[in-house]
Amino acid sequence: MSFFPPPPSSFLLLRSLLAGILIGLGSKLGSGCTSGNGIQGLASFSPASLTFVIIMMVCGSLTANLTNSNLELNVEVIDSGQPKLQDCYLLILVTLLSAISQVPLANVPILNDITSGLAFSGALTISGMVKTSKVITFLDFKSESHGFDPSLGFVMGGALLVATPVFWGLKLAERNEDIKLWKNRPINLKTVVGGVLFGVGWGLGGICPGPGLTTAAMSTVGGVWVAGMFGARGVLDMLQEKKGQVKKD
């Protein structure tokens, strides 16, 4: 069994591009994504992140159901299967990388970034979150032909069991002003609109930033999705910058 199955033939590039654009806009406006708001934000008890996640989940589920994402993306029937030996090896590697990523490696920050990235992408892979089917069969909970897969909920829940005590135990908000400001940011129109856009994009494509970046080089669909996400964020950055310059003038 491959961790990165070939993209379904019915997965249209236009749908992938649109999903990427919506995710890019939503994550920018909402100051986070499924990992940022859904794990770090909830672990820090951020009201804005909680609002974003609720809106994201509702809109994602509605979109997946209303647009028949399970059919459009050719989602396969849930297969619980038995763990493979390669899964165990990858789990050991991810665990080691996670430990290494917390240690200052010869005072070279980029090495910490690399090991953290490898650990994160490995965790997404072994949990199956790089597969659109895992997301869609969670969001499209009423599908009789494909069934409901609660795996995504368990992955996020498991991450929160680790992230929450770590966040508060290390007093990250007190030690880092940027984290404190992000945690306590207000709930505003950007939060709501960001959650809506992100949820719709998530329901359309079954991909969020982490898995999207992990699989970007593995398929044309992934590459198009990532291009849409970064393109949308870049355009929004430019518009916000121009708006700021106009206000100054």
1 within domain boundaries: no
4 within domain boundaries: no
82 within domain boundaries: yes
Instruction: Give dist(CA 53, CA 37) in Å, integer.
Output: 7
Query: DSSP per residue over 166-193, as a string?
Result: HHHHTTHHHH-HHHHHHHT----HHHHH
Domain that holds residue 182: 13-248
Domain count of the fold of the chain: 1
What is the tens place of the pLDDT at every residue in 202-214?
A: 999 988 898 888 8
2 within domain boundaries: no
Instruction: Give dist(CA 96, CA 202) in Å, integer.
Output: 31
What is the tens place of the pLDDT at every residue in 60-109?
A: 999 998 888 777 676 655 555 555 666 667 777 777 776 766 666 656 67
244 within domain boundaries: yes
Residue 244 has pLDDT above 80, yes or no: no
Interaxial angle between packed helices 13-29 and 189-205, expressed in degrees from 0 to 180 and rounded to the nearest 10:
160
5 within domain boundaries: no
Please name the residues in contact with 8: beta carbons below 8 A apart, sequence gap of 6 or more: 73, 74, 75
7 within domain boundaries: no
Instruction: Give dist(CA 152, CA 1) in Å, integer.
Output: 20
Instruction: Give dist(CA 55, CA 68) in Å, integer.
Output: 20
